[in-house]
Amino acid sequence: MLHGGHPYISARGRAVLKVLIIDDEFDIREIATLSLTRGEIQVITASSGSEGVRLAREQQPDAILLDLMMPAMDGRATLRALQGETATAGIPVVLMSAASDDALDLKPLGAAGVIPKPFDSITLPARLRSVLGTPH
């Protein structure tokens, strides 16, 4: 079950997810945002781990797409910070990384899944819903 409630149902009868994307690369945030919004997913973005933790606390997304490799506060530190706060500990985190072997090591720490980079923007919404176990 996802962390947050679903505030509304889309015209297609699907629950609209609210997803926070945390990635330091502007292009990745933009491509993922365009892809997910076409898939009837509401998107919030953060360009750093610390900003992402703050937004997760304030916005209470249904899920988080988290880049593993970021400067300063990387994906590992961000994941630990999210899990360490009562307000964000229950939010499913899906890791995005070109280094899939490293990302897989984080699954035992509580990541809901891994989406390798580069991702296919056409299939990203369905892939995310599949990892989270929500209807496509």
Per-residue pLDDT of the chain (136 residues; tens, 9 = 90+): 355 554 555 555 656 899 999 999 999 999 999 999 998 899 999 999 999 999 999 999 999 999 989 999 999 899 999 999 999 999 999 999 887 555 456 567 788 988 888 899 999 999 999 988 887 6
Residue 8 within a domain: no
Residue 118 within a domain: yes
Residue 48 within a domain: yes
Residue 2 within a domain: no
Q: Which two tokens stand for residue 79?
A: 């994941």
Radius of gyration of the chain (CA): 13
Q: Residue 17 belongs to what H/E stretch? A: strand 17-22
Closest CA to 6 of 52, 53, 41: 41
Q: How many domains does the chain have?
A: 1
Phi, psi of 126 (to 5 degrees): -65, -40
- CATH number, domain at 126? 3.40.50.2300
Boundaries of domain holding 105: 17-132
SS3 content of the chain, % helix, strand, coil (to 5): 40, 20, 40
